[in-house]
Amino acid sequence: MIAGIDEAGKGPVLGPMCVAGVLLDEKKLDSLFRLEVKDSKQLSAKKREALAEEIKELADRYFILEVSPKQIDELRKIMTMNVIMVACYVKVLEDLKPDHVFVDAADVNAGRFGENIRKGYKNNIVITSEHNADEKYPVVSAASILAKVERDALIKKLEKNAGIEIGSGYPSDPKTIRFLETWIKEHKSLPDFARSSWETAKDLLEKFEGTQSKLSEFD
């Protein structure tokens, strides 16, 4: 049995990270090829959602790990983001138990990432750890699609609950920054679905607190 693992949401300041794994019998690879799966970033939201359903039907098993902003913030107090990523991939592996796993490396050193997974995972396994694996291996593309679709759904739910557009959650998204600025000015704190350990969040809080401090001098 082979598996592919990929994540969506490692870098955003808002929302959870999703790490997805897809387990397949190698005999089903031809069927996966026929689905024409690609890296999730190369597909429209509508196409990703349609493919996600087909992938779930085809897979022998799939597993999606959701890591909340609070969990990420707490873990970052004691470990780096790279170590967190390894732990998440290992957790997905423990659910799927493949013989060979293909992973999209979440470390600048792809070989090191694979070796760290091997050290964390207790069973014998063949690990192929490469950058851009979601473009090279359909089973990783499939995992990429499941992770992205799940995270997008969670972001839509957060946006609905907030009652205001929050954007993609990435620091480079102007909509996300505008949302955070508006929220901080109104609530004098970050929303509970923001990653407070991110520099973007810290900088915006500091900017607002600095403004408040200057205004108080004239009271």
170-8-185 Cα angle (round to 5): 25
Nearest to residue 15, comparing CAs of 62, 64, 49, 66?
A: 66
Write down the pTM of the prediction: 0.91
pLDDT of residue 217: 42
The β-bridge partners of 211 are: none
Nearest to residue 36, comparing CAs of 47, 25, 24, 21?
A: 47
Residues of the chain falling short of pLDDT 70: 209-219
CA 199 – CA 205 distance, rounded (Å): 10
Spatial contact of 150 and 8, defined as CB atoms under 8 Å apart: yes
Distance, C-alpha 197 to centroid of its chain: 16
CA 72 – CA 203 distance, rounded (Å): 18
**Residues 6+ positions from 103 with CB-CB distance below 8 Å:** 4, 5, 6, 89, 113, 114, 117, 127, 128, 129, 130, 133, 140
Q: List the domains of the chain with CATH numbers.
A: 2-152 (3.30.420.10), 160-213 (1.10.10.460)
pLDDT of residue 210: 57
